[in-house]
Structure 1
Amino acid sequence: MSARLLLATANQKKLVELQRILDNALGTGGIELVGLGDFPGYPDVPETGLTFGENALIKAREGASRTGLPTVADDSGLAVDALNGMPGVFSARWSGRHGDDDANLDLVLAQIGDVGDEHRGGAFVCAAALVLPGGREHLVEGKQRGEILRARRGTGGFGYDPIFLGEGQTRTNAELSPAEKDAISHRGKAFRELSKVIAKELPR
């Protein structure tokens, strides 16, 4: 019988990405991944934490409490050096509307429009949490350093991917294939690390 694991996100693009990373890390046998869409009426959980880790734990605790399932949640975003690490935990709602990728991206570009190329560094950061119904908690973090471009490149991925050029890369995250992105991304790093914990906590 498969162990069920809840991925606590309502973002369909992120859900697909997380499922892909975990399937590759864990193999497809023995763990059934379910999303918030499998639980009609599941409420929005306010992300009131001041760090990625705090927000990931808030969402994972809520999922485990409401569903009784081991729950994985992440909080991730873009930290721009010239903006003192912002948008940070406000990445998804930087423009004022949650999840408006184009508006968020345009605002960041406008805010650092006059910043020289040598100061356009930044990082994607992901904190990923696993909370078990019995109360055990695990938290890991992944990071991808790079630079913020002046214009979009590529149509893949989501969020700030079209303006982020990772260190050592010639293509933005939005120009990479899903497998290429997973291999170097903040989320790929965090969830590969978390998958080691999941494998121990949810033996198959």
Structure 2
Amino acid sequence: MIHRDTTSKPMSTRRPLAMTAIGLALGWALALPSVAQDAKTIATAVCGACHGEDGNSAIPMFPKIAGLQESYIVKQLRDFQSGRRKSDIMAPVVAALKPEDFLSLATYYSGQKLKPGETGDKKAASFGKMIYFDGNEENGVPACIGCHQPQGAGHLIYPRIGGQHVQYVTQQLKNFANNDRSNDVSRFMRVTAKRMSEEEIQSVAEYLVELDAK
């Protein structure tokens, strides 16, 4: 069984912080001129409220984007813009950007160093490691290492997931399983996540949080 980390902040504490970050990001996005902006300026004024200026989000519901592949970041921004990936938060932010900003932002954030976190459940992380490297033949879950590499560094279209927030990884896997997120390549993540148990999802997320994909 997996036990919740009792040291984490209650939702009532995290929610005001998250809403404040969202408000700041949207406010800055709406104020952007309709021309391509310097990546560092956008990162500071728009993206930093949720993702951190250096891409290391301090809010667990928002992903760390430091060190993500350029191609992956660009794809996600384009998917948010087209509506293929749904987000009430990201949609208006991306709409305020110009397509030419996407690559400059991707280059900026891919060059930042991701800072791993710390698991709150060592036992769960140990089980997650087993799923990550070996998968689960009984329910058809493939090993994560096949696409995301030993340290979670990813490769080309497969994102870096090592060091990512537990809450974000857990939510995204559930979104894939429920078809709430559908911008994966060839439905691979949707099929995989649907096969995973809740314990496997939580455990893999606990394992990933400490990985340092240098």
**Same-fold call, TM cutoff 0.5:** no
TM-score for both structures, normalised by structure 2: 0.31
- Looking at secondary structure, tell me which structure has more helix per residue: 2
Higher relative contact order (CA 8 A, sep 6+): 2
- Looking at secondary structure, tell me which structure has more strand per residue: 1
